[in-house]
Chain A
Amino acid sequence: MPEEIRSITISWNDIYNPEKSYNLLKELKWSTICNTNIDQENRETIIDIIYDTSNYSNSQKSFEIIPNEVIYKDKCLIYKISKKISILNHSDALNFILNNCSYIKDWIEACPEQTSFDIFYDITTSGSNSLGTIVDKLADLNYFKSVIKNPLNLEILALAGTIKKFYQQTDEPFDIHDVRKLTKIDIFKDTIIDVMRNPKDKLENYNMEKTSDVIIYSHSSGFRGIVFNTFNFLDNTILETPYFEMYSQNLDLKFLSSITLSLTKSNF
């Protein structure tokens, strides 16, 4: 026999607490969600559920717990963090472009409204995760929040995202897949910013090489014998080209390549 409807109130702060998040997932795993109600004022979400172990497959409902931030879907909690960045608000990144990359400068001047982009990170926790896994994932999420609060990190990400948007001409967000790769940038941010401020000294004689260190790999174009090289930075595709040599003098790509290479060697 199904049980009666009962309400659970989720405080928005609790959803970032690993233990409470873990317990919520366990509770919702065997429940059918009947109704949800967001209380913006008290920063909490009220869910009406029926506890029913026989009704496992019916409890797939998706709903928002924190608007635009945390959703419950397919028995998982999905946490999303998105921050809109415009290079126009980041002076070091902007000066790098204005002084060294005339083509990106021309694009920024022609379409300033198109230069902003979202930096995005998400994690998914499910009822099958152990408490330890949820602790790690939420720690990554909190770390990402701290990284994007730091203005120097934001200068680096603003530059990388703008370079991506210029070459890709897309509205896709700058997606962080592995927050641990940001850790090294965070540690070496002062050195990286120093290179950003004086790029010619450090990068003029830097040669981008087609190695796994600078993450350039190939895929077929569909035309026989034509292969595209893909230049990635923090797992984002920055540039796809059949002839990388054409861009080999671009200081923007040299800068990103040197960061990747240096961080791979852990020696900036």
Chain B
Amino acid sequence: MIQIISQTNLDTVLFISDSAPTFQVAALNLGLIQKGFICNGNESIMPSLRLIKGQYHQGIQVRFTKMDNRSSRYVTRSLFKRSIKNEIGENVKLVIMNTYKGKSAATISIELTPPDNISTILNEQYLNKFSNHVTFNEVIKKVPNISISSTIEMNNHTNITDSERAELKNSTDTTVYRMKIFEEKHHELYPLLIMKRFSGDTWNHTMTFAEFERFDKYLHVIKDCSFPTNTARRKFIELCEIFRLNTILKSIKVNNLEFTRQNNCLRIKLFGITLAHELKLKRFLYFDHPGINFVADFVDKTNMFSSIEAKIGKEVFIRI
């Protein structure tokens, strides 16, 4: 819930309840920035409890002040911050920064901390489909924090053309839409982020809203993925070994799948999520590596084998 507390030509004071969706709060901030009103960081934000329609709402009171054109907008500084714990125990921190790299821009980021106990939101049956050998104990089932962001160029809004204004509105709307999708469906990332642990990468997961949108487009296939057929698994592992042992290509990207080779080690990424780092892969023909089995079935279900082979062949041919 968002409610106007006071409004003048110089500032607008709003109450934002903790239950207000993050994408709405971000949209509000971006809209006000485009109208020349900004929140000036912590000094403009204070915790608040407000009685609305006979019910108390926990939230924050935020002052958006008319932007002073003389003040430096060409420095990186934090504009707006909100940290809430949602009904399932996830901590969601929204940060909007003013950034400047040649052009003024706003960076919108969400830092999401999953709850310690994710059993209520995690589809364990889905995870168990990929391995008969790995036991998903409490240590393995820990989901890393997610940090997702997007940057929107913010031209000097007083002197922009109509087409630039339309472009700005379009990029803002796209970002807000992607945030909405992320807010609704980020749980679908959890099984893959658990599988990410098997690659040895146990740190926070960093991605962009655009990457999440690509992930969302393939969500129906991802949900349908299961234990790969023996043929698919063998074919995928053979392709991995061919790439790992090649001496010409260091990296290759086919659609959302990325192979990178460093020394004798192969890294496999899908939708920007690292799912394997391995020195030797042939044992995974028999021992179920959840990440490799998942990618093998995904590649099989999206008929990507021939594209990968063709891309490797083409890239090698170009470099010879």
Contacts and interface: CB of A to CB of B under 8 A. Distances in A.
Interface string B181-214: 0000000000000000111111100000000000
A227 B262 CA distance: 13
A225 B200 CA distance: 9
B277 A107 contact: no
B283 A245 contact: no
A228 B198 CA distance: 11
Interface residues of B, number: 30
Given A242-B277, A245-B140, A246-B289, A226 B199 contact: yes
Given A222-B265, A228-B279, A103 B133 contact: yes
B282 interface: yes
A interface majority secondary structure: mixed
Given A221-B262, A223-B277, A245-B140, A103 B200 contact: no
A142 B131 CA distance: 46
Contact of A169 (B137, B263, B265, B282): B282
B139 interface: yes
Contacts of B267: 223, 226
Given A103-B133, A228-B200, A240 B279 contact: yes
A164 B133 CA distance: 18
B169 interface: no
B198 A243 contact: yes
A106 B200 contact: no
Nearest to A170: B280
B295 to A, nearest CB: 16
A16 interface: no
B288 interface: yes
Nearest to A221: B265
A104 interface: yes
B201 A106 contact: no
B10 interface: no
A63 B247 CA distance: 37
Q: Which of A221, A228, A240, A250 has the most CB of B within 10 A?
A: A221
A103 B287 contact: yes
10 contacts: A110-B285, A221-B277, A221-B279, A222-B265, A223-B265, A226-B200, A226-B201, A242-B201, A246-B140, A249-B135
Interface of A: 102-104, 106-107, 110, 166-169, 221-223, 225-228, 240-243, 245-246, 249-250
Interface of B: 132-135, 137, 139-140, 197-203, 260, 262-263, 265, 267, 277-280, 282-283, 285-289
